[in-house]
Amino acid sequence: MGHKKRKLSDLTVGDRNALLVALDAFQDNLDEDDEDLPSGLLTALGQFREKLEVVKHVSFSKVDPTDLAQLGIRVGPLFLNKEKTTSARALGLTEADNNILSMTVLQELVDLVRKHVSVITEAGCRVLINLLLLRVASTMSDENTDVNIIPEYPIAKTILAENRSFGGVVDFLMAKLPARYTDHLLRNPVISLNNPDLTPITSNIFEAKRDRVDAAIPQVALAAASHCKQHSLPVLRGCITSGEQWVFFIYEAKEVGGLVSCSSEYSIGQHFQDLPLILGILRDWVCALLIIL
């Protein structure tokens, strides 16, 4: 009599892990560019892996408000203190010695982008975002401290619930750290930012969104929650932006779940009315000064 066939539902956690290890070894030895590979094999292996995994993985780009509710992450308003908007604007107008990206030059470059770059895709929006982040980084850096921009920063899978993990890529991460670490950070950003000896480092995450900026709140909330858990951070600041519109947020880790507080939407303005304010908040976020709250 042959052995009784087992269903996937009958497998223990140990059985599943053993199969996943064997599957990893098998795929590592496959040449994915081999023309002789049966059509659909890699897809089938991926589907089999998903069925074996006890912890289901969800990409940041696939999350929605129901995920926040299930994880106990609440969303609330972030009120910027009107009395201190003058301070924020002044901070945004601050110039650094010998900085070629002055406010005048920045405005000219923004005008060029508006005239020559299509922003119907997120890639187009990032051209404008790059300018503002570069302005902030260049005005805040000196001989002792650097602010650096890490595009497409990957956040590893992080278990935030008993049977679910989250992970993915954030469009930008800005890191403020001692200047002596800059070269190492720019060459090995993921390794550097996961090294607890490279301190003090502050970081912020930024997500590009072509339109409906606030629709990305669940995405950034899960990215912030994952980053905070990995690095034992109580708070993380960031924003969602199309380049023209900016929504700022603060994520606070709680004993159960978390709280993400989001600002109203701020626009650069056709005549740059709120550009200094946006730049000032960005500087405040990177320094974690919180002078504007």
Both 41 and 137 in one domain: the answer is no
Both 185 and 92 in one domain: the answer is yes
Tell me: pLDDT of 7 over 90: no
Check residue 2 and give its pLDDT.
Answer: 57
* 106-141: burial string, b at 16+ Cβ within 10 Å, e else: beebbeebeeeeebeebebbbbbbbbbbebbbbbbb
Q: Evaluate the CA torsion angle 136, 141, 145, 148 in order and state its sign.
A: positive
Both 162 and 240 in one domain: the answer is yes
Both 105 and 49 in one domain: the answer is no
In a domain, 3, yes or no: no
Both 171 and 42 in one domain: the answer is no
In a domain, 2, yes or no: no
The pair phi, psi for residue 270, each rounded to 5°, is: -60, -35
In a domain, 201, yes or no: yes
pTM of the model: 0.81
Both 24 and 159 in one domain: the answer is no
Give the pairing type, strands 245-253 and 235-241. Answer: antiparallel
Q: How many domains does the chain have?
A: 2
Read off the pLDDT band of 40 (50, 70, 90): confident
Of 4-8, 138-142, 153-157, give the lowest mean pLDDT range. 4-8
In a domain, 78, yes or no: yes
- Read off the pLDDT of residues 115-128 as tens digits, 9 standing for 90 and up: 999 999 999 999 99
- If you count them, how many residues does the chain have? 293
Check residue 198 and give its pLDDT.
Answer: 67
DSSP of 140-193: H--SSEEEEEEEEEEEEEEEEETTEEEEEEEEEEEEEEEGGGHHHHHHSHHHHH
Check residue 14 and give its pLDDT.
Answer: 66
Run of H or E including 265: strand 258-267
State the CB neighbour count (10 A cutoff) for residue 213.
Answer: 21
Of 51-60, 141-150, 207-216, give the lowest mean pLDDT range. 51-60
Both 220 and 77 in one domain: the answer is yes
Query: Collapsing DSSP states into helix, strand and coil, what is residue 249?
Result: strand
In a domain, 277, yes or no: yes
Check residue 165 and give its pLDDT.
Answer: 86
Both 169 and 215 in one domain: the answer is yes
**Whole-angstrom Cα Rg for the chain:** 22
Q: What is the mean pLDDT of the chain?
A: 89
Run of H or E including 193: helix 189-193
In a domain, 124, yes or no: yes
- Read off the pLDDT of residues 47-93 as tens digits, 9 standing for 90 and up: 887 777 767 788 999 999 999 999 999 999 998 877 778 889 999 99
Of 76-90, 138-152, 239-253, give the lowest mean pLDDT range. 76-90
Structure token pair of residue 23: 């599957």
Amino acid at 62: K
Higher pLDDT among residues 12 and 180, named by residue:
180
Both 265 and 197 in one domain: the answer is yes
Check residue 3 and give its pLDDT.
Answer: 63
Both 13 and 119 in one domain: the answer is no
Both 125 and 266 in one domain: the answer is yes
Check residue 74 and give its pLDDT.
Answer: 97
Read off the pLDDT band of 108 (50, 70, 90): very high
In a domain, 255, yes or no: yes
Structural domain including 35 reads 8-54
Both 41 and 97 in one domain: the answer is no
Check residue 157 and give its pLDDT.
Answer: 85
In a domain, 1, yes or no: no
